[in-house]
Structure 1
Amino acid sequence: MRFLISFLCVLVLVSYAVAYDPMDPNGNITIKWDVMSWTPDGYVATVTINNFQMFRHIMNPGWTLGWTWAKKEVIWSMVGAQTTEQGDCSKFKGNIPHCCKKIPTVVDLLPGVPYNQQFSNCCKGGVVAAWGQDPSQSVSAFQVSVGQGGTSNKTVKLPKNFTLLAPGPGYTCGPAKVVPSTVFLTTDKRRKTQALMTWNVTCTYSQFLARKNPSCCVSLSSFYNETITPCPSCACGCQNKKNCVKSDSKILSMVGVHTPKKDNEALTQCTHHMCPIRVHWHVKTNYKDYWRVKIAVTNFNYRMNYTLWTLAIQHPNLNNVTQVFSFNYKPLLPYESINDTGMFYGMKYFNDLLMEAGPKGNIQSEVLLQKDKKFTFKQGWAFPHKVYFNGDECMLPHPDTYPFLPNSSPATIATFKALIFSLLLLLAVS
Structure 2
Amino acid sequence: MAHALVVGAGIAGEALAVALARDGWRVTVVEVAPEIRTGGQTVDLRGDSRQVLVDLGLIDEVLAHLVPQRGIAWIRADGSRMAEMPVEAFGGRGLISSEELLRSDLARVLHGAAGAAGVEYRFADTVEQLTDTTEGVEVRFRSGPVEVFDVVVGADGSHSRTRSLRFGPESAYRKPLGLAHAWFTLQEGPGTPLLDGWALSYNEPGRRGLTARPGHPGQQEIGMTFAASTVPRAHDARLAVLDDAFHGAGWRAAEFLAAARTAPDLALDTYDQIHIDRGWSDGRVVLVGDAAWCASPLSGLGTALGLRGAAELAEALRRHGVSAEPTAERIRAAFSSFEQVMRPRAAAAQKLLPGRVRMVAPKTRRGIRANAMVMRVVQAPAFLRVVRFLAGGRGHDDGAGPEPSRPDRSRQAG
Q: TM-score, normalised by structure 1?
A: 0.19
State which structure, 1 or 2, has the greater radius of gyration over its C-alpha atoms: 1
| The structure with more helix, counted as a fraction of residues | 2
Q: TM-score, normalised by structure 2?
A: 0.20
**Greater RCO, CA 8 A, separation 6+:** 2
